[in-house]
Chain A
Amino acid sequence: MTPNLFPKKLLIAAAAMSLAGAASAADPNAAATQPLEQKIDSLSQQLDTLKAQLQQLKSQNDALATAQERQEQQTAQAAQPHASPFDNLSLWGYGEVYYTRPIHETEKTVADLARAVFGIGYRFDDKTRFNSEYEVEHGVTSANDPGEFEVEQLYVDHQFNRWAAVEGGLFLIPVGLINEHHEPTAFYGVQRNFVETLIIPSTWREGGFAFHGNTDFGLDWNVGLTTSVNLSHWEGNPEDPIYSTALELINEGAGPMAGTHQELALADAQHLSQYLSLVYRGVPGLEIGAFGSTGTSTSPTVPDGPTSQRVSLWEGHVRWTPGRADLSALYARGTIGGTGAYNALSVGQSNPMPASFSGYYAQAAYSVWQNETYRVAPFARWERYNIGQSFEGIPAGVSPYPTGPTSTGGPWPQPYDRVWTYGANFYVTPNVVLKADYQSFQNNSDLSRFDLGLGLAF
């Protein structure tokens, strides 16, 4: 603020004095004018001093103004976007290492670098972003090694408004509890549960597009049109069981949809599938979900048989996390139509196509100890699955699965089981977890195993 350096009174007085001084110069009474002259001199000196002060303040003011301007420029510059490539880029990933030991067949103990996954995302603008996820399984990928390198997701998401968005590309199907949140830190147990790998295929992703959004009262909805499974390469008569350990049960695609989903790899897109997913998260700590999908698939060529078959999957789940507890339950059921002709053609084959398959589980976890970033959460899970729940086209009295021993002498595994899993997750940080569990198979008891795992996600 500029001080008032020139009080008006002083100015008028000074002016008046000078006029008065000029008027009195012509007066013969010189003795009377002397004190006046002295006053004028004094005033004149004061005026000069004031001028000098004014000048100084003015130049200070100018300096301040310049400084302020410079500062404003600098702030403005800082606010402007740079041409740096890392501004809108996001990187994430996760990894899992397993040690799995079948307790009745310890010679089949395996340690595996199960997954090394990295994700790359980019935000184009406020509304549009891109996500992609790449996965390396089993350590080494080559023609002679067991690994696979795959693109797990690659999609663009565009938000129209507050309530709706659209995504297109290769994306995860919004089903169950694990499919979209399958980082090792997100679930209990060394490996994913059987219902969400055999009944709901894992990791289930398809190509297509979907609309999704949230509502103010907490309902998330997602509806999509995608590629379907491909039944035409159904492996009907493997000479040996597809799996002889629980690890292989999960890894080898033993589930009907797990073994036939196409992963958008030159996928047969003559037949498509559509789904609807609804998840209610309006109450804090509670999640209730329902999912349904139905589509068609090309059939294996059967003389006098159908050219396409209908494949459907239904699922419902609930998850409640009151305080330190984490409780969840899930049910899923799938159906395949028109399997009769295929099964009748190859009666006696070891892997007929099921007409229905289903499973469910209930799980409870509780964080018993927490300290800084450490957390220990033991859990228990009971699940049932049946990948061969019903069949068509198999003659009465004929078992859908082989009756004799396998070539190595053991029993051919049954398609259904009840499994108890007991274990604990030990979180070193929320991003790093050590896991241990014991799984007891009630039916195919040779599959029972003890597992250890290391998982990380960032």
Chain B
Amino acid sequence: MNLNGASRAGLCAALTAVLLAAGCGGNSNGKVAAATGLSPAADLGRQAFSDVALSASGTQSCASCHIASKAFTDGQVVPFGGLHFVPPATGDAGLRNTPTLMYASYSPDFFFDTDGTPTGGFFRDGRAATLADQAQRPFTTSFKMANASPDEVVQRLRTRPYLQQFIDLYGADSLNNPEVAVGHLAEALAAFQTEDESFHPFTSKYDFWQAGRATLTQQELNGLRLYNDPTRGNCAACHPSTSADGGLTPPLFTDFTYDNLGVPRNPNIPANDDAQTLAYVPYNSADGAHKYYDMGLCGPLRSDLGAQGANASLCGAFKVPTLRDIALTAPYFHNGEFPTLQEALSFYVTRDTDPSRWYPTDGAGNVTKFDDLEAVYGGEFVMNINVLGSDANYVGNVNTVEIPYNRKFGQTASLSPADIDDVIAFLCTLTDGYDPQHPENYTLPAQCAATSP
């Protein structure tokens, strides 16, 4: 082949670029975006992540609900969105509390374990098998970014300044197939979350303590002890505090499985309001108690597993989230029911010993436990706080076997309020941003300093 001068120069330039890139690690396409240190795909994702022009309302992006300073949550019970979204809280109210994106790239894709345990996946019900799958769905969800179809997303994408970057990566042809194009956009967003350190810094005080570069206080150590002790908090059973792969990855504080805790129904979610009928809510119940039940793994936002046969036991189970940065991601649980860690932990240990504190109670002492789950799956379980033993024969999907949920009415909780304060002190050490050279600069939210009444 006989190269003329121009093409030879071009070849040299390309080779140089490749050689330079080969000296740097771990990027797709072998080239590095100079400013951010991210690969071109991740850099595209970074731009798309906070681009409100990709939404139908023109006012919403991923970053609207996944705010970096709040560990990529939004501090609300449920987020708002839809065509008429005006930040922060005008528009359609979502169905579930915004999950954090911190450390999301470490979740395995959704699968069933050898013993049938559902594991991994994205969203609180794991319905998105991969991180990219999750990233693309809010674009076309009517109460989120509200694009009518992938077509509309592509039309908006064509107006964006990073369009050329998209074409360079995925080719102009991909724009002609909207579903493929949105899939690529989602890959870019996933690459951004995987590569950008702000999603997985591992700079918590706990990380530095494990490495021997920080000291935990007496209270924090006692909190860790109660956290690990399987007869007290037993938190480590689902939120392991040690590395899951023999030290290759730091502890992620979730085992990525699903659990059903019978969290009380949150009346502050408009979808839960039986007096309203909202167009975007998949009402799914005629049991006479409520029109809509969010049942996690078995629906209604997820439809592939269904609620029949063996899968009936999955109803009401939601994904175990990471506890890293948990102090920043209030309110808690899939329905944002508990505004503070103090309440969340108190629920864990007194759900059964003091049920009237958490569930609707009538004047005669009847308590409707697990009121956010249909009776056929073990929800709407009525017991009476004047009758000891009336909660003895529970049968259903809610976890009543593992500590601390194995208590019965009248028994003692496995953690006292002082114990809960200690555990919270420990949980606060999971907040990223600790600097061992300047420990005094470690900023924690107000709930970390509060004590139980």
Residues of A within 8 A of B (CB): 232, 236-240, 300-304, 345-350, 395, 398, 402-409, 412
- CB proximity to A under 8 Å, residues B57-92: none
- Alpha-carbon gap, A303 to B207, bound state (A): 10
In contact, B242 and A239 (Cβ under 8 angstroms): no
Identify the interface centre among B229, B234, B406: most chain A CB within 10 Å of its CB: B229
In contact, B232 and A345 (Cβ under 8 angstroms): no
CB-CB under 8 A from B402, the residues of chain A are 239, 407
In contact, B231 and A404 (Cβ under 8 angstroms): yes
In contact, A348 and B229 (Cβ under 8 angstroms): yes
Q: Which 3 A-B pairs have the closest CB atoms?
A: A301-B247, A404-B231, A348-B228
CB-CB under 8 A from A402, the residues of chain B are 229-232
6 further A-B pairs in the complex, CB-CB below 8 A; given A300-B247, A347-B228: A239-B403, A348-B229, A395-B225, A402-B229, A403-B232, A405-B231
Number of interface residues of B (CB under 8 A): 26
Main secondary structure on A side of the interface with B: loop
Q: Please tell me which one of the listed residues A404, A408, A409 contacts residue B232 in the complex, with CB atoms under 8 A apart.
A: A404
Closest residue to A404 on the B side, CB-wise?
Answer: B231
In contact, A304 and B211 (Cβ under 8 angstroms): yes
In contact, A240 and B230 (Cβ under 8 angstroms): yes
- Alpha-carbon gap, A237 to B234, bound state (A): 10
In contact, A301 and B243 (Cβ under 8 angstroms): yes
In contact, A395 and B221 (Cβ under 8 angstroms): yes
In contact, A236 and B242 (Cβ under 8 angstroms): yes
Q: Is B366 positioned at the interface, with any CB of A under 8 Å from its CB?
A: no
Min CB distance A379 to B, Å, is 38
Q: Please tell me which one of the listed residues B211, B224, B230, B401 contacts residue A347 in the complex, with CB atoms under 8 A apart.
A: B224
Q: Please tell me which one of the listed residues B224, B227, B228, B229 contacts residue A403 in the complex, with CB atoms under 8 A apart.
A: B229
- Alpha-carbon gap, A236 to B237, bound state (A): 12
Closest residue to B236 on the A side, CB-wise?
Answer: A237
Min CB distance B1 to A, Å, is 53
CB-CB under 8 A from B232, the residues of chain A are 348, 402-404
- CB proximity to A under 8 Å, residues B194-230: 210-212, 221, 224-230
- Alpha-carbon gap, A402 to B406, bound state (A): 16
Residues of B within 8 A of A (CB): 210-212, 221, 224-232, 234, 236-237, 241-243, 246-247, 401-403, 406, 414
CB-CB under 8 A from B210, the residues of chain A are 303-304, 345
Closest residue to A341 on the B side, CB-wise?
Answer: B212
- Alpha-carbon gap, A403 to B231, bound state (A): 7
In contact, B212 and A303 (Cβ under 8 angstroms): yes
In contact, A406 and B231 (Cβ under 8 angstroms): yes
In contact, A350 and B211 (Cβ under 8 angstroms): no
CB-CB under 8 A from A350, the residues of chain B are 229-231
Min CB distance B427 to A, Å, is 14
CB-CB under 8 A from A398, the residues of chain B are 225
CB-CB under 8 A from B230, the residues of chain A are 237-240, 350, 402, 406-407
CB-CB under 8 A from B228, the residues of chain A are 237, 346-349
Min CB distance B400 to A, Å, is 10
- Alpha-carbon gap, A402 to B234, bound state (A): 10
Min CB distance A153 to B, Å, is 31
Q: What are 14 A-B contacts with C-beta separation under 8 Å?
A: A237-B228, A239-B237, A301-B246, A304-B210, A346-B241, A348-B224, A348-B232, A395-B221, A403-B229, A407-B230, A407-B402, A408-B406, A409-B406, A412-B231
Identify the interface centre among B221, B225, B227, B414: most chain A CB within 10 Å of its CB: B225
In contact, A239 and B234 (Cβ under 8 angstroms): yes
Min CB distance B348 to A, Å, is 14
Min CB distance B6 to A, Å, is 55
In contact, B246 and A304 (Cβ under 8 angstroms): no
In contact, A303 and B211 (Cβ under 8 angstroms): yes
CB-CB under 8 A from A406, the residues of chain B are 230-231, 403
Closest residue to B243 on the A side, CB-wise?
Answer: A301
Q: Please tell me which one of the listed residues A300, A405, A407 contacts residue B401 in the complex, with CB atoms under 8 A apart.
A: A407
- Alpha-carbon gap, A400 to B228, bound state (A): 12
CB-CB under 8 A from A304, the residues of chain B are 210-212
- Alpha-carbon gap, A232 to B242, bound state (A): 13
In contact, A347 and B247 (Cβ under 8 angstroms): no
Closest residue to B229 on the A side, CB-wise?
Answer: A348
- Alpha-carbon gap, A398 to B228, bound state (A): 13
- Alpha-carbon gap, A239 to B402, bound state (A): 9
Min CB distance A40 to B, Å, is 118
CB-CB under 8 A from A302, the residues of chain B are 247
CB-CB under 8 A from B211, the residues of chain A are 303-304
Closest residue to B402 on the A side, CB-wise?
Answer: A407
Given A239-B237, A301-B247, A407-B401, A345 contacting B229 (CB threshold 8 A):
no
CB-CB under 8 A from B224, the residues of chain A are 347-348
